[in-house]
Amino acid sequence: MSESFFEQAGYQDINISQKNFPIPYLSLDIPQGRELQMRGNLDHPIRNKMTTDQAARLMYEIFTGQAVSPQYSQKMQQLLTRDLRPEIWMQEQYNSIEGFLGEFLPIAEVHFASKVGWTSRSRQDVAFISTKDGKTKYIVVIFANDPAYAEDWEIFPEISLFLFNRMVERKANTDKPGL
């Protein structure tokens, strides 16, 4: 068996072969056909497996042009970039903003890219956040594996806004002369 791209790149014990369901644009609410076969035993299905460190590393590599190639990194950046305007994301039945890291961020100030996961028992999000002036850039990853997080639609946006304000404030303070 040949090594996967991720194994060759030094990622260990990672699986990101499973799709998130539902997939509205394909009219799929649950896995079917090959997708169902890939999950294996339905009592203990194969699931995606990734650590927060791996998620942060992958997002970093995408946004520094190191994932696969600069050209494909750029394409991945485009696919991950989210429009934070409510009039846009509220039109989508399953969106990556509501209840996740981008929802409470100041729209006019932020470039935002993310990948989310959510089940009845967990909520995950990895995001690249940058101020539009480029002075503040960071990656935040939260994997919360408890039904309380899956059901809480405000905790991720609140954490994200707190981090954003602190990161911008910290950058402003370190840019002052004499510090």
Q: Does some domain include residue 50?
A: no
Number of neighbours of residue 129 by Cβ within 10 angstroms: 21
Q: Does some domain include residue 45?
A: no
- What is the distance between the alpha carbons of residues 96 and 119, in angstroms, rounded to a whole number? 13
Amino acid code (one letter) for 110: V
Mean pLDDT along residues 18-35: 80
Q: What is the pLDDT of residues 117-160, one digit of tens each?
A: 888 888 999 999 999 999 999 999 999 999 999 999 999 999 99
Q: What is the pTM of this model?
A: 0.86
State which residues form the domain around 135. Answer: 82-174
Which CATH number does the domain housing residue 144 bear?
3.30.160
Q: Does some domain include residue 13?
A: no
* Cβ atoms of 73 and 66 closer than 8 Å: yes
What's the domain count of the chain?
A: 1
Q: Does some domain include residue 60?
A: no
Q: What is the pLDDT of residues 46-59, one digit of tens each?
A: 788 899 999 999 99
